[in-house]
Structure 1
Amino acid sequence: MGQQQDDEDREFDIKWADGAEHKEPSARARMLAARWKENPPGPVPFRGEPEGVGPRWSSWVSTAVVLGSVVAVIVLLGYVNFRAPY
């Protein structure tokens, strides 16, 4: 009987806590708020470059390499078919 009463009290406490108008921020949120009040963080890009990675090729360079490879294969196949005896 005592266990059931404890569960009901606990359920009541959870409902009461969830329905509170003001919720206290976590310790980490309070710590960051205090730190940023004195020294706000700088802007950060949505997806910054990972450290230690060099600059990437532009999309135009990649497109040119792919199209150049396709043209080279077509020319090579055409040359092989032209040289083949009939």
Structure 2
Amino acid sequence: MSERDDEEREFDLRWADGAAHKEPSARARMLAARWKENPPGPVPFRAEPEHRGSAGRRPWVSTVLVLGCVVVVILLLGYAGVGPY
């Protein structure tokens, strides 16, 4: 490309970026048309997950499970004689 082409291209970009009205994207136009007929309902900031697997348990169950494992490891190490004593 010649220097003249670069200048023309730069001018075109500045002219396009400085436009007072910018046309919305195709997706924005599609959603606007769809929402005119059927507006979306309110959505909470963090929606409840649809699938609740093992993370759906009560929070205290995880705490008890972790603390139980720690106690078992401490007891096993104590009976095995591993430690500072």
Q: Tell me if both proteins adopt one fold, taking TM over 0.5 as the criterion.
A: yes
Residue range with higher mean Cα deviation, 7-16 or 60-69: 7-16
Higher RCO, Cα 8 Å, sep 6+: 2
TM-score by length of 1: 0.67
2:59 corresponds to: 59
- What's the CA shift string for 1:33-86, capped at 9, x where partnerless? 11012112232553652x5553522332111101011122223444455xxxxx
Q: Distance in 2 between matches of 1:20 and 1:26?
A: 15
CA gap of 1:47–1:68, structure 2 versus 1, over 3 A, is: same
TM-score by length of 2: 0.67
Q: Distance in 1 between matches of 2:48 and 2:2?
A: 53
- Give percent identity, aligned residues only: 63
1:69 corresponds to: 69
- Code of the aligned partner of 1:69: C
Q: CA RMSD in A?
A: 2.7
Consecutive unaligned residues of structure 2, counting only runs of 5 or more, are: none
Aligned residue pairs, count: 79
- What's the CA shift string for 1:21-44, capped at 9, x where partnerless? 221101110110110121122325
